[in-house]
Structure 1
Amino acid sequence: MPDIIREYLPILIPIIILEIALMFYSLRHVLKHDRYKFGSRTMWILIVIIIQIIGPILYLTIGREEE
């Protein structure tokens, strides 16, 4: 393994875990609920999956309808 990867691995692992956890939580919420502040289910699924860590944060802050 190159030294640069070994050097940044302790920083990257928590970020990757956070990204995956946010994505799964957001996808579960999108699929479970029918109402959103704006947009459709398909749009939010694509945003959450394609726009890696920012997509789930966008959904959780501006996309999800209050319960």
Structure 2
Amino acid sequence: MHAVSMVYLVGNFNVYDVNTFNEMLIKMKADLEISAFLYKNCTRLEAIIKEQNIDKIINALHKKFIR
């Protein structure tokens, strides 16, 4: 069994945001267990990642979606 981290963003998201979120995780070579998916009135983006160094991923997502 491997340790996992859950990445969770809350807001109002569209299909572009969901795709951007997933593409960023893929480009950072995150070992995804579950990635985000679009649903009606999307208010959160989630991913479960097998990742030892989660700080790099959190910082990149924060820079893109929060700042």
TM-score (norm 1): 0.36
Larger radius of gyration, structure 1 or 2? Answer: 1
From the two aligned structures, give the one with the greater strand fraction: 2
From the two aligned structures, give the one with the greater helix fraction: 1
TM-score (norm 2): 0.36
